[in-house]
Amino acid sequence: MKKNLITAVLMTLVTTILLGLVYPLVVTGLAQVIFPDQANGSLIKRADGTLLGSRLIGQPFSSAGYFRSRPSAAGASGYDAGASSGSNLGPTNQKLIDRIKADVEKLQAENPGVPVPIDLVTTSGSGLDPHISPAAAEFQVRRVARERRASEEQIRSVVATHTLGRQFGFLGEPRVNVLELNVDLDQKFPLSTTP
C-alpha cells in the first residue's frame, strides 16, 4: 500500500511538472518563435505604438468615412470578446426580424436602389467576425469615397488590395478585413476635420 501511494504521488508530481509547466512553456516558446504575430493576438498598431485592434476580432465603426463591420450580438453592446456568441434568435423571431428590417431600411437610405448584402445585416456565429464580403465592401464604397473626398475607383483599389481569396484556393469565401482596410484608408485618404 505504501509503495502504491508513493508511486501515485510521484506520478502526480511528474505529470504536473511535465504537463502543467514544461509542455505549456515549450508550446508557448515555439509559438513565439514560429508564429510571433499570431501568438501575440495579431495586433494592429499605429506607427507611434497606439493599439488599434486585432486582425482577428471585429469592432464597430460608426463614422461615415469608415467601412462598417457586420453587426455583432456578442455582449450587450456588441463586439465583446468576453461574450463571444451569436444571438441564438431563430429566423422567425420577431426581435430579429425587426432589427434586420431596421438595418436594411437604414442601409437602403444610404444607398438607394442597391440590394443590401446579407452580411451587413446579419451577425456571425461568434459575433466577432472581422471580415465582410467583397459585396458588402462594394456597397459602402460610394459613402466612404464621398466622406474621404476620394474617387470611388481609388477606394475600390484600396478594397481590392485588402480582399483575401479563399483559403488554400477552395475553403471559405473571399473576404475583406474591415480594420486593416480602414487603417489603410486613414493613411492614404485621411478624413478631413473641417466641414
Work out the mean pLDDT of the chain and round it to a whole number: 89
Q: What is the span of the domain harbouring residue 95?
A: 41-188
Same domain, 81 and 151: yes
The closest of 52, 51, 69 to 60, measured between CA atoms, is 69
Give the per-residue pLDDT at 129: 87
CA max distance for the chain: 84
pLDDT digits (tens, 9 = 90+) for 142-173: 999 999 999 999 999 999 999 999 989 899 89
Same domain, 67 and 21: no
Give residue 194's pLDDT band: very low, low, confident or very high (50, 70, 90). Answer: very low
Beta-strand runs (E) in the chain? 43-45, 51-54, 131-132, 163-164, 175-177
Same domain, 5 and 65: no
The closest of 19, 33, 52 to 182, measured between CA atoms, is 52
Same domain, 180 and 126: yes
With a threshold of 0.85, does the pTM exceed it?
A: no
Strand, helix or coil for residue 83: helix
Give residue 135's pLDDT band: very low, low, confident or very high (50, 70, 90). Answer: very high
Query: Which contacts (CB < 8 Å, 24+ apart) does range 78-86 have?
Result: 78/127, 79/127, 79/128, 80/127, 81/57, 81/128, 83/127, 84/126, 84/127, 84/128, 85/125, 85/126, 85/127, 86/123, 86/124, 86/125, 86/126, 86/127
Same domain, 62 and 139: yes
Give the per-residue pLDDT at 181: 96
Same domain, 24 and 50: no
Same domain, 155 and 90: yes
Per-residue burial over 7-28, b = 16 or more CB atoms within 10 Å of its CB, e = otherwise: eeeeeeeeeeeeeeeeeeeeee
Which of 102-106, 110-114, 177-181 has the lowest average pLDDT? 110-114
Same domain, 71 and 137: yes
Return phi, psi of residue 131, to 5°: -110, 155
Place of cell 487603417: 183
Higher pLDDT, 177 or 56: 177
Asked if the structure places residue 84 within a domain, the reply is yes
How many domains are there within the chain?
Answer: 2
